[in-house]
Chains A and B, each alone.
Chain A
């Protein structure tokens, strides 16, 4: 069946694609959203409120690895890439909403200091942060930090006891001249009246919010776009080729749910496939790469974990610490004003605590018997954990390219992810370990888990946080898209995902991805109004 040309095809329905789709449809454009996965329904296809003893055998029999449903563990394709170097990871979640289904909701604005390394200023993005926070239902406290500006917050969620101890430790370090702030997390989880359900503090956010409280593309912008009547959604539809002619994209070829090849044509194309898949498709189609920078400038967050226990918390009531998942607070503000000469960039530390039987963070206690059982209860009840999130140094050693030998089931080359930790990365992690240990001890705690001196084998990459591979910039020789997210080479090709990030601070990427994609989509809609497309 022939399909009439669309104004815009958006490929990928994750955080960037979801918001772009709504903005374009809202502007009156005829939009096709193409998503390689199907629908996963909150409360039906995922939801972690189960009795694991009742679900164990049915789920193992069905091929799952855990009795507790988890939207990422159950549905990710973890081998859709070739790793090169220091254990890179990558997970493709093929579903309507993409990886917005399995994020923790952490929503931190990049600050004016962070945008010094971008071709656009914070003030240009700030209005989009505000709009995004309102629609996402972000909760938080007003902390007044210059480089992590406050937003449009619903009421904040307080610390647990262990995180309160870490705050005490951080405050003591501040009296010794260290620059840092320990603040409560900011998450896209409504705590007050909102268009979505209000949080009921069950703590299963990352596993997939079964009441659709946590923001996802699937529960907010895509239904809003459907309401306009301007959107057609193609699920289980995998793009295999980008069509182009005379320096412009004209449409895509995709395989539908029955494996049949189909074509869509449009006046413009928005790629929102993520920071690995977007450059992969550009490289496969040999498009938009006159700069040679497609796939370059790859970066992410990486880290280690330090855990302490606080005897002062003995006997506290830990009966329900579930809250909004594990990390309720954040150590921030490190090296914003004065960089550390031993490494480039900086890190933040996500802080969590609480007694939760299904995650039980402190479990490596030696021994057995009655003492082990007492220690498991006591140590988990009085612990706090600190998880580093550092910005990985950008260099020629980190990139995405095409694997010359491995192909996916559609015959397309798989992406290779090259990751090699460098001296700056290791120095940053060692600084973080020392800082975390100092905070725990200053608060009266005892360090029970630490990597000690760090080497690359101890570092963990955050495979949800890749960015930078289709970099934004003003110079077409050193960047792929301009400050409007538009290809320097192909005027009707736009990128709306985190691959456009020009530089990467320590802060989580999703809120900025959504704000920028909103801005890019509004800019594209304006070009249609001005007949520039």
Chain B
């Protein structure tokens, strides 16, 4: 395909024109979400596990309110069948007592052996990713970036001034 000169310049200008548009669109209403990869009881258990993993504290709400269960359900929806089966089994096993389940899994975190141990590591890393992607998670870090600023001051610590 021969590239037209005028077309190329139009294309190259597109990025420049958008440089100060940093208002990201709003996300879905996670509180009203109905799970599609998980059953309703499994989704409820996932919510409980999320709040046990990253609970509400003085820095703000926990992972459930942040929308992490929504995020993980959508990831599972577009994942593969084996992955969904692993999560279904683990969540079913934790349904009666999520606190006891996460305590047991965490004991083997540094040397995982069973499928349940490995599930915990996958769940934990996915939930951490999802939490800090969310506005709630970013706020809990005190993060205000991902925006356009005119300069980068570097280390503001008075003892570390860069000459």
Contacts and interface: CB of A to CB of B under 8 A. Distances in A.
Interface of A: 38-39, 41-44, 47, 49-54, 56-57, 60-61, 67, 96, 157-161, 163-165, 168, 196-197, 200-203, 209-213, 218-219, 222-223, 226, 229, 232-237, 256-257, 312-313, 316-324, 355-358, 360, 363, 366-370, 372-374, 376-377, 380-381
Nearest to B28: A53
A376 B155 contact: no
A494 to B, nearest CB: 23
Contact of A373 (B22, B70, B74, B140): B140
Closest 9 CB pairs of A and B: A158-B154, A42-B15, A53-B27, A43-B15, A200-B148, A211-B19, A357-B132, A51-B24, A320-B145
A377 B128 CA distance: 11
Contacts of B28: 53-54, 57
Contacts of A312: 159
B140 A54 contact: no
Given A54-B27, A201-B148, 5 more contacts: A51-B27, A164-B157, A233-B8, A321-B145, A377-B142
A54 B24 contact: yes
Contact of A357 (B22, B57, B77, B137): B137
Interface in B16-51: 16-22, 24-28, 30
A373 B153 contact: no
22 contacts: A47-B18, A51-B24, A53-B70, A61-B78, A159-B162, A164-B154, A165-B160, A202-B22, A210-B15, A211-B15, A318-B141, A320-B143, A320-B145, A355-B142, A357-B138, A358-B133, A360-B128, A363-B128, A367-B106, A368-B106, A370-B57, A372-B54
B11 A41 contact: yes
A46 to B, nearest CB: 9
Given A61-B78, A367-B106, A376-B128, A212 B16 contact: yes
Contacts of B12: 41-42, 212, 218-219, 223
A222 B8 CA distance: 9
A319 B144 contact: yes
A314 to B, nearest CB: 11
B24 A360 contact: no
Contacts of B95: none
Contacts of B11: 39, 41, 44
A49 B143 contact: no
B70 to A, nearest CB: 8
B94 interface: no
A254 to B, nearest CB: 11
B46 to A, nearest CB: 14
Contact of B157 (A56, A313, A355): A313
Given A49-B24, A53-B71, A376-B128, A223 B8 contact: yes
Nearest to B17: A43
B34 to A, nearest CB: 14
Centre residue among B19, B20, B134, B159 by max chain A CB count within 10 A: B19
Q: How large is the interface on B (under 10, 10 to 19, 20 to 34, 35 or more residues)?
A: 35 or more
Given A161-B160, A357-B138, A201 B19 contact: no
A423 B109 CA distance: 33
B155 A158 contact: yes
Nearest to B143: A357
Contacts of B154: 157-160, 164
Nearest to A64: B78
A509 B8 CA distance: 28
A55 B19 CA distance: 19
A366 B110 contact: yes
B125 interface: yes
B52 A368 contact: yes
Given A44-B14, A60-B74, A368-B102, A373 B54 contact: yes
A526 B77 CA distance: 60
B59 A373 contact: yes
B3 interface: yes
A213 B5 CA distance: 21
A38 B3 CA distance: 9
A67 B130 CA distance: 10
Contact of A318 (B106, B129, B142): B142
A323 B5 contact: no
Contact of A53 (B17, B18, B59, B134): B134
Contacts of A257: 1
B1 A50 contact: no
A443 B11 CA distance: 48
A51 B145 contact: no
Contacts of B14: 41-44
Contacts of A47: 15, 18
Contacts of A372: 53-54
Given A41-B14, A211-B16, A377 B26 contact: no
Given A233-B2, A368-B102, A52 B55 contact: no
Contact of A60 (B8, B15, B75, B124): B75
A209 to B, nearest CB: 8
